[in-house]
Structures are given as structure tokens and as C-alpha cells.
């Protein structure tokens, strides 16, 4: 029964997010909002709604490990797994806006998460700070970005249609209500069953949040980026991941901190390992995105390999396996330095190549 509730909760989260996005996007279009604004707000929040539902539910239920692990784990999963998988389908184009603004912001916000966590708690004031920052970020994008191209408007109309009647209003409101209801119910079932799994397997709720729940709540991003890559909309595949990571930190973590009485407790393993991994993953994006403006299949393999290594480490650490020390030594003293040196060399070569061209 626990497994069935877990699967049902996951399905409800995914279906609820899809219904919420479709209803809210169509309603926003009826209200006269542009596709750009809808994409930056409604769709971005919609794909992060499973993370928000899980984090709020687990925090209010006294499982802060799941709440924090879900957010941190989702950001790691988004970059390493989703971008890696998408790049294996087709090399991903990276827009200059992502390189100049969004990726640096993702890096800065990841570092801020570490600074906020050093006292062992994400406070309500810190949550308010993150949400205010998100509002400023959205305002900047909306008022500084150029108008949408005809192609963008046509893509949006093809996806959501041009609905304006009273019946359409009622239909979209119903979709929003149903989507929210599925998210609430799905998050309850998923959190409760995940806690049962953790107790039965003898591992921490944090590990469950970092792995199973993080991957599960990121499925909307997986579907969106994969389909975008298959259809040749490669910039959407990348922008979806980076945007979701920014929203996870500033929106999901911020709102969760605000609604949590006394803030959210952060464990030492998260401060000492998982948040630094999230920061390292964010920093790794900059040279990968910068070199040529394309994420190649080779870089996709590298990202996927690191996600597998990270997951293996969590499993070995949770089970206190004898191979943990050897695995950690190989990763720390060989794989990570080799990757860092390679990224540095490629970046320097790219900078020199651009200077030569200019």
C-alpha cells in the first residue's frame, strides 16, 4: 500500500502540474498577458509547483530533511541529469541571455543558499529576502527583455490556443482548481510514503529527498526539456532547467521558509556536502555554457556521469558501505580535479579564440 500511495502521489503531482500550467497559461492569455510574461511566471512556477507542494507539506509535517533535500536535489538533478539527457538527444543551443544573466544569477543564488544555511536554519526573514529577489528578477526580465518574435507567439498559440469566451474562463478556472487539488493530495501521499520508505530502509529522510523525491518532482522539467530537444527547440530545453533552478531557490525555498514556523532546520551534511555540490554544479555550467554556446553530446555524457557518481555516493554513505572511502578518494583526488582542469583549458582556449576573431 505504501508503494501504491507513493506511485499515485507522484502521478498526481505530475498531472496536477500539467493541468495547472495549462489552465493558468490559458487564463493569463485571456487576461491579455504576453507569452513572455506567462513563460517567465506561470509556466516557471508551474514546473516548480511539485517541489513547492512537497517542501511546504514536509516542512509543516516536521520533515525538514525532505524539504531541503527536495530543493537541493532537484537543482542538482536538473543540471546533471536533465541537461545531460537532453544533450544526448541533440546538442543544446545556449542563448547569450543565459550566459550573461541567468547562469550567473543561478551561481550567486546557490552561494547565497550556503551563506543562509551556515547558522543551521533558513529563517523566515531569509525566505522573504529570496521572494523579494524573485519579484525583482521577474520585473527586470519583463521590462528589459525585447518583445516576443512572431515565431514565439505562433508557438504559444499552437500550444494553448486563442481562447476568449466565458466558457473558456470557467474551463481554465476549473483546471487551476483541479491542478492545485491534485498537487496537494499528491504531495501528501508522496511525503508520507517516502517517510515510511526511509524508516523501513533505515536511511535518512534527507537521502530520500535528495534522490527519489528530487527526481520525481523534477519530472515536469524532464518532460519539458526532453520534448523541446526532440522538437528542435534546444534553447527552451536549457532555459527551462536554468529557470527552474532559479525558481527553486528564490521561489520554492523562499515561500517554504515564510510559511514554516521558526524557519527550516538545515542539517550539517547538507551544509557540508550537498549545498557545496549544488554550487559546484552551478559553477560547472558557466564554462560548459560559455564554450561555443552549445552543450555537446560529450558534455552531456559528462553531466550524466557526475549525476550517477553523486547518487552512488549518497547510497554508499547511507548504507555505510566499505567502498565509500575508496570511491570518495577517486572522485576527490582524480575525477573532479581532472574535470576542472579540462573545463579551465577549454574556457581559456575559447576566450583566446574569440579575441582572435575580434
| CA dist., res. 284 & res. 304, Å (int) | 13
Dihedral (CA of 291, 296, 299, 304) sign: positive
The confidence score (pLDDT) of residue 336 equals 72
In the structure grid, which three cell numbers stand for residue 159, read together? Answer: 500550444
| CA dist., res. 124 & res. 48, Å (int) | 20
Over residues 315-329, the mean pLDDT reads 79
Segment 259-284, tens digit of pLDDT:
988 889 998 888 988 999 999 888 88
345: exposed, middle or buried (Cβ count in 10 Å: 0-12, 13-18, 19+):
exposed
CA distances from 174 to 19, 31, 53, 169, 280 (A): 10, 16, 19, 9, 42
- The pTM for the full model equals 0.80
Segment 153-208, tens digit of pLDDT:
455 455 545 555 567 778 878 887 888 788 778 877 877 787 787 777 777 778 88
| CA dist., res. 54 & res. 277, Å (int) | 22
Q: How confident is the model at residue 318 (pLDDT cuts 50, 70, 90)?
A: confident
Q: What percent of the chain has pLDDT over 90?
A: 16
Amino acid at each position: 500500500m505504501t508503494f501504491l500511495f507513493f506511485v499515485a502521489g507522484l502521478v498526481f503531482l505530475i498531472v496536477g502540474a500539467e493541468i495547472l500550467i495549462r489552465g493558468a497559461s490559458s487564463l493569463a492569455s485571456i487576461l491579455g498577458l504576453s507569452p513572455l510574461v506567462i513563460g517567465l511566471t506561470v509556466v516557471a512556477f508551474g514546473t516548480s509547483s511539485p517541489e513547492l507542494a512537497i517542501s511546504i507539506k514536509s516542512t509543516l509535517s516536521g520533515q525538514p530533511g525532505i524539504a531541503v533535500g527536495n530543493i537541493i536535489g532537484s537543482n542538482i538533478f536538473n543540471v546533471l541529469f536533465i541537461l545531460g539527457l537532453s544533450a544526448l538527444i541533440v546538442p543544446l543551443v545556449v542563448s547569450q541571455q543565459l550566459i550573461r544573466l541567468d547562469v550567473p544569477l543561478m551561481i550567486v543564488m546557490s552561494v547565497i543558499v550556503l551563506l543562509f544555511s551556515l547558522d543551521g536554519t533558513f529563517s523566515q526573514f531569509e525566505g522573504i529576502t529570496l521572494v523579494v529577489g524573485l519579484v525583482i528578477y521577474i520585473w527586470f526580465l519583463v521590462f528589459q527583455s525585447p518583445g516576443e518574435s512572431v515565431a514565439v507567439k505562433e508557438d504559444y498559440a499552437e500550444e494553448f490556443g486563442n481562447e476568449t469566451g466565458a466558457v473558456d474562463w470557467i474551463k481554465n478556472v476549473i483546471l487551476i482548481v483541479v491542478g492545485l487539488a491534485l498537487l496537494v493530495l499528491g504531495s501528501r501521499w508522496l511525503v508520507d510514503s517516502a517517510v515510511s520508505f526511509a524508516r523501513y530502509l533505515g536511511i535518512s529522510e534527507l537521502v530520500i529527498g535528495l534522490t527519489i523525491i528530487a527526481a520525481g518532482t523534477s519530472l515536469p522539467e524532464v518532460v519539458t526539456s526532453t520534448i523541446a530537444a526532440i522538437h528542435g527547440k534546444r534553447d527552451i530545453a536549457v532555459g527551462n532547467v536554468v529557470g527552474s533552478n532559479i525558481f527553486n531557490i528564490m521561489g520554492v525555498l523562499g515561500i517554504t521558509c515564510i510559511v514554516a514556523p521558526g524557519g527550516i532546520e538545515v542539517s550539517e551534511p547538507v551544509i557540508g556536502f550537498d549545498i557545496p555540490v549544488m554550487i559546484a554544479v552551478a559553477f560547472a555550467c558557466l564554462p560548459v555554457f560559455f564554450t561555443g554556446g552549445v552543450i555537446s553530446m560529450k558534455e552531456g555524457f559528462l553531466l550524466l556521469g557526475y549525476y550517477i557518481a553523486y547518487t552512488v555516493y549518497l547510497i554508499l554513505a547511507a548504507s555505510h558501505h566499505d567502498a565509500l572511502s575508496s570511491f570518495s578518494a577517486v572522485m576527490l583526488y582524480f575525477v573532479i580535479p581532472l574535470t576542472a582542469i579540462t573545463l579551465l583549458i577549454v574556457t581559456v582556449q575559447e576566450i583566446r579564440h574569440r579575441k582572435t576573431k575580434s
